Structure 1
Amino acid sequence: MKLFEIAHSRTGDKGNISTISLIPYHEKDYDMLVDRVTSSKVEAWFKEFGVTQVDRYEIPSLPALNFVLHNMLGGGVTRSLAIDPHGKSLSSALLDMEI
């Protein structure tokens, strides 16, 4: 199953760091996301973009996961030559991950 089948996502940025939130449509699926969407799996998923580290924060009260992807944006908005320097499409890319 792909993540988009059970969750939605939002992306933010600060400098060369991208943040991606992952929120299940139904609270009952939160524990499955915690088990299956690890920081190492997200880091491997985005490796080709140059990510060097992924931190995961669990927010069970929402419920949501927040991922902080370091060195993800080609130096940041003002330095990147990427078409999407803010990395807004990264949320869609994460949702395409198979779990």
Structure 2
Amino acid sequence: MRTVRLHEIAHGRAGDKGNRLNVSVIAYDAQWWPSILEQMSQERVLAVYAHRGATSVERYVLPKLMALNFVIEDVLEGGVNASLNLDAHGKSNSFLLLSQRIEVPSDQ
């Protein structure tokens, strides 16, 4: 096995609604899908966003798209319109998740 950053094998999309963040992780290639599916759990994603006050994560598996969609609650400090943070939403939050390290087979 070898360790890679998630952004090396997947891309992400993010959106928000109120205090809820939606982040998708989409594998670039089918060879990476099993590792992403196995290692990117609800618990792991909650730990990544814990410092932002996240209280829960729901994971949705979209196998035909080789994607995971995470809905993260209470992470946006009240939402885009209520937050004083500049660019604390969207792409910056997907990059936080894509910076995570995961294990992939050495032969891939």
What TM-score results when the alignment is normalised by the length of structure 1? Answer: 0.94
- Runs of 4+ displaced beyond 4 Å: none
Task: Provide the rounded CA distance (Å) in 1 between the counterparts of 2:67 and 2:100.
Answer: 17
For residue 105 of structure 2, what is the aligned residue in structure 1? none
Task: Provide the rounded CA distance (Å) in 2 between the counterparts of 1:95 and 1:74.
Answer: 21
- Greater Rg, structure 1 or structure 2? 2
Task: Provide the rounded CA distance (Å) in 1 between the counterparts of 2:80 and 2:45.
Answer: 22
**Please, what is the CA RMSD of the aligned residues?**
1.1
Task: Provide the rounded CA distance (Å) in 2 between the counterparts of 1:8 and 1:85.
Answer: 19
1:23 is aligned, of 21, 26, 35, to 26
Q: Unaligned regions of 5+ residues in structure 2, if any? A: 103-108
Provide the identity percentage: 43
SS in 2 for 1:28: coil
Task: Provide the rounded CA distance (Å) in 2 between the counterparts of 1:8 and 1:86.
Answer: 16
> Is it true that 1:98 corresponds to 2:98 in the alignment?
no
Q: Unaligned regions of 5+ residues in structure 1, if any? A: none
2:49 is aligned, of 41, 46, 51, to 46
| Deviation digits for residues 66-89 of structure 1 (CA, Å, limit 9, x no counterpart) | 000100100011211111243431
AA matched with 1:13: D
SS in 2 for 1:56: strand
For residue 59 of structure 2, what is the aligned residue in structure 1? 56
For residue 73 of structure 1, what is the aligned residue in structure 2? 76
AA matched with 2:91: K
AA matched with 2:42: S
